[in-house]
Amino acid sequence: MKASPAFRRIEAASSMQNAKPCVLLSALLLAAFAVLFAVSAPLAAQERTIAVGGMQREYILHVPKQLPPGPRPLVIALHGALQPASTMQRYLDLDAIADREGFIVAYPKGLNLLWNDGRSSIAGFIPLLYKRDDAQFVLSVLDTLEAEGRVDASRAYLMGFSNGGFLTAFMACRHAERFAAFATMMMTVPVGYAESCKPARPVPILMMNGTYDPIVPMFGRPTPGARLMSADESAALFARIDGCGAPQIATKPHTRITRWGDCKDGASVAYYEIAGGHQPPAQSVDAVDALASVLLGPRRSGLDAPEEIWSFFKQYGGAPAGVEIAGASPPPLPASPVTAFAPTGAPAGMTVTATPVSSAAPAALQPLAREPDYAEAWRTALGPSQTSTPAPVPVPLPLPSPLRRTASAQP
């Protein structure tokens, strides 16, 4: 029996209604993968190959045009899990800073877009079927470029995002003498590092983590390869290794910065707690970042991760003062005005007092024993004269971690 036209219209409308959630989910997935696998016009870079451990390994090399003669500083940037090195190159826009400041950038490529980062599984979730020494690969890139006379090995720096950040931390513990400074984004170290991390010298390191990161939560978690410390415990571990003094707290847009100075041999530790997700902050963000934030957490604007990292690296050698690169872009952006930090959704006007924090560290790093009363902490911080109306946010956010430590909740 043939269905009537009216019935067919009702059936079609019902099918479209049921399809809407699937279409929305597909759009969000595409947005997230666009961040990880975005394809754009090819960048001016060299594709290079070297032999390491019986395998041919590849990396991308960016050399600014019209560099002054002589060896230059080198930044090696390690991509995240399942993220092509070329996408990491475009995503960070580190090359623009290299062109301005006169340093070289290398982007090594992990096998199958993954790194053996020192845990017993690759990227924390894929079993390590066969061992490969990715740390040696990174060192071989440095050795090759030094042998060619391109780079000054005393001004070599290592940074990494997510899976690449885990490998960066591993190398900070095992090969600290090969790099002048380190930087990690969106990673926390395994708890075993409290005993096994014994670098040959104090480690200058900058660490960035997002308070809304659903991939590498800042409060730590177990993974198939290792149980992870919280982000603040990870930073405190390096501060303890470096023999640092009491930390100082500062703020920038969407960010609370804890800096440990007065460390051995001039080292320092900086920990950036960003009210964002599993995306490094950028000077500006676009619609793709906003869509991806539903799955990865928000990407914040107003603070540029590569600029902050290079400013940290420059304290340990960096580009020689007074060197000007022909055709370089204008000077760095002026520092953002200092603002008080509060997690997204906090009442407007709330501030967190910047006070020194005790440098005393517990004998062993342990997870929090109980959940703090954050509702009471917020009421205490706000005071009776403040409104409790939350500030509007541009994208939907997950609830803050129940283990999140705020300045107002600390004893």
Task: Return left, alpha or beta for 265; rule: phi > 0 is left, psi -120 to 50 is alpha, else beta.
Answer: left
Tens of pLDDT, residue by residue over 262-294, are 999 999 999 999 999 999 998 878 887 888 788
Instruction: Name the residue with higher pLDDT: 280 or 405.
Output: 280
User: Looking at residues 86-93, what average pLDDT do you find?
Assistant: 91
CA angle 246, 248, 254 (to 5 degrees): 145
- State whether residue 229 is helix, strand or coil: coil
| Mean of all residue pLDDT scores within the chain | 76
Give the homologous superfamily in CATH for domain 42-316. Alpha/Beta hydrolase fold, catalytic domain (3.40.50.1820)
Provide the pLDDT confidence category of residue 333 given band limits of 50, 70 and 90: very low
Residue 339 has pLDDT above 80, yes or no: no
Tell me what pLDDT residue 291 has.
83
Concatenate the DSSP letters of all residues of 8-72 into one string: HHHHHHHHHHHHHHHHHHHHHHHHHHHHHH---SPPS-EEEEEEETTEEEEEEEE--TTPPSS-E
Domain boundaries, the chain: 42-316
| Identity of the amino acid at 314 | K
pLDDT digits (tens, 9 = 90+) for 53-70: 999 999 999 999 989 889
pTM > 0.95: yes or no: no
Give the lowest-confidence range in 80-94, 110-124, 225-239: 110-124
- Residue 301: per-residue pLDDT: 83
Give the containing element (helix H, strand E) for 292: helix 287-296
Residue 369 reports pLDDT greater than 60: no
pLDDT class for 377, splitting at 50, 70, 90? very low
Among 160, 32, 41, CA closest to 92: 160
Judge whether residue 49 has pLDDT over 70: yes
The predicted-structure confidence for 193-216, as pLDDT tens digits, reads as follows 999 999 999 999 999 999 999 999
- Check residue 223 and give its pLDDT: 78
